[in-house]
Structure 1
Amino acid sequence: MSLYKWGGYSPDKQFVGLDNFMILAKDMNFIRSFQNTILLIVLVTVVTLAFALVFAAILTRVKFFGVNFFRVIFYIPNILSIVVISAMFSAIYDPSQGLLNSFLRLFEPKTWAGVQWLGNEKLVIFSLAITLIWQAIGYYMVMYMSSMASIPEDLYESSSLDGAGALKQFFTITIPLTWSTIRTTLTFFVISTINLSFLLVTALTGGGPNGSTEVFLSYMYKQANTNSAYGYGMAIGVVVFVFSFALSAILQAITKRDTYEF
């Protein structure tokens, strides 16, 4: 369908070859959605990976009262509907009575008075990133905890006798021995961010303000179903597929390491 000019409902389809892709390369709205998607993938992947690994290591290695409680608390966001999450963060980001501005005004009343987290074109994409990170941390934390639980305790005890502290153990034992799981989750990060960003944008911002939160799939959906440009929307879909596949393959290639055995 990406090779046709078609509105989606008309019985007539006009073959246009690669014209849809030629138009796509010059479409500034698509380019902006591409940039937003890349930004979200990078931000969400880096921050979620870091926090999930740290929290997983703490809840696996550190023994304290209520560990299981914190495991459940961290995982709860992952089982919530994206619509529920959107409603929650819409209230949190509310400029007048939202939790975020109310908290920040305790420190700087004038600076944080009425900040438009979802209405400011420069801030809104980062507000979406924070929401996606909050939703994803628990899921990946549980995956890393499962991998860390299989690491023999003897390795940590031996390294402690050699003078290695908790931080050094984290980077020289925990990370290397969970690397295969980390590689796998990198592909999940790409796919889930592309999918969930569409759902979150649809439910929370609708692509606004002024298209500043438009992402791959939200722009594709609007072109295919709203603007009667189904063929053009499918061209965007092809680009999304190729991009997702290529990025996942690149990540797997550059993160390839020798497998450690114990």
Structure 2
Amino acid sequence: MNKRRAKRRFIIGCLTPAIILVTIFMIIPTINVFYMSLFKWGGLSNNKKFIGFENFQKLFNDTNFLRAMQNTILLVVVVTIITLFFAIIFASILSREKIKGQNFFRIVFYIPNILSVVVIAAIFGAIYNPTTGLLNSLFDMLSLPGLKQMWMGNSNIALYSLAAALVWQAIGYYMVMYMASMSSIPENLYEAASLEGAGRMKQFFLVTLPLVWDNIRTTLTFFIISTINLSFLFVKIMTGGGPNGATEVFLSYMYNQAYTNSSYGYGMAIGVIVFIFSFILSGIVNKVTERDVLEF
């Protein structure tokens, strides 16, 4: 009996600090965001006016917000698909193929993850520079001046230029995660598949992909949320939401409304929508990607 009590006290003692920290820094601020979204408030004065759901009614009539939502969804879809596709392919190649200098390639792919967002934004800012940038200079060398662009100044391609930076930053991290999963797959499964006449491509789809699917599901949800967060940082550093709002995303628009335009309550209403959007999207992704767990 005493051992059971001692064990219970130990568990409570270990969990209490974590529960306190989560409550103070996550639960209470989240509740406060929901609460403040019901007020008209500039954020600095004591003059708060309760207006109920007027901020939300205004929100869905705000064309700038709807454009930011559209940009965010586009980034989530494009960046997620491209990043995970290449991360899985590169992980499979470096895990299964005997390539000279495999460790070198692993390090090279992982380098973007040890760089800060500011450094990555500066690198891509230099690449996209319309006069001295690497991209336009490359087109000059190839005698393709028609492909030169104002990469961050053209509203039609600025968002896709931003997406390229997000993809480059993330591929190495997820590649390493998939490599860790692939390295645990027994080699005899590939040998058995080979004896059955399955080539490399079939082995990838029939052996590798099903056995790492659970890991892919987990990283997919994590990556969607991180894309929403990181897109804000890249936008603030690289474009500021321009040109003409073409790269404005959820969180950058929320920040501008709450801290630049002194519409704190309105900004918190956007925060509530971001929270609900992230939660629903994660639930949809988990449901759509649900498969029976395969064991080996």
**What is the TM-score normalised by the length of structure 1?**
0.98
Aligned-partner SS, 2:278: helix
RMSD: 0.8
For 1:150, the equivalent position in structure 2 comes to 184
- In structure 2, give the amino acid aligned to 1:211: G
**What is the TM-score normalised by the length of structure 2?**
0.87
Q: CA deviation at 1:62?
A: 0.7
For 1:124, the equivalent position in structure 2 comes to 158
Aligned-partner SS, 1:187: helix
Query: Which stretches of structure 1, 4 residues or more, deviate above 4 A after TM superposition?
Result: none
Q: CA deviation at 1:102?
A: 1.2
- In structure 2, give the amino acid aligned to 1:230: Y
- In structure 2, give the amino acid aligned to 1:65: K
Q: CA deviation at 1:194?
A: 0.5
Contact 1:52–1:144 (8 Å) recurs in 2:
yes
- In structure 2, give the amino acid aligned to 1:244: S
Give 2:100's match in structure 1, choosing from 59, 62, 65: 65
User: Gaps spanning 5+ residues in structure 2: where?
Assistant: 1-35
Q: CA deviation at 1:223?
A: 0.2
CA distance in 1, matches of 2:240, 2:168: 20
For 2:121, the equivalent position in structure 1 comes to 86
Aligned residue runs from structure 1 range 35-184, under 5 A: 35-113=70-148, 115-184=149-218
Q: Percent identity?
A: 64
Q: CA deviation at 1:180?
A: 0.3
Aligned-partner SS, 1:26: coil
Larger-Rg structure: 2
Q: CA deviation at 1:197?
A: 0.3
For 2:16, the equivalent position in structure 1 comes to none
Contact 1:59–1:67 (8 Å) recurs in 2:
yes
CA distance in 1, matches of 2:252, 2:236: 7
Contact 1:105–1:111 (8 Å) recurs in 2:
no
Q: 1:254 to 1:109 in 2, by over 3 A?
A: closer
Give 1:15's match in structure 2, choosing from 43, 46, 50: 50
Q: CA deviation at 1:78?
A: 1.1
Q: CA deviation at 1:106?
A: 2.8
| Alignment deviations for residues 124-183 of structure 1 (CA, whole Å, 9 cap, x no partner) | 000000100000000100110011111010000111111111111111111000000000
- In structure 2, give the amino acid aligned to 1:110: P
Q: CA deviation at 1:14?
A: 0.3
Aligned-partner SS, 1:261: coil
Contact 1:156–1:169 (8 Å) recurs in 2:
yes
Aligned residues between the structures: 261
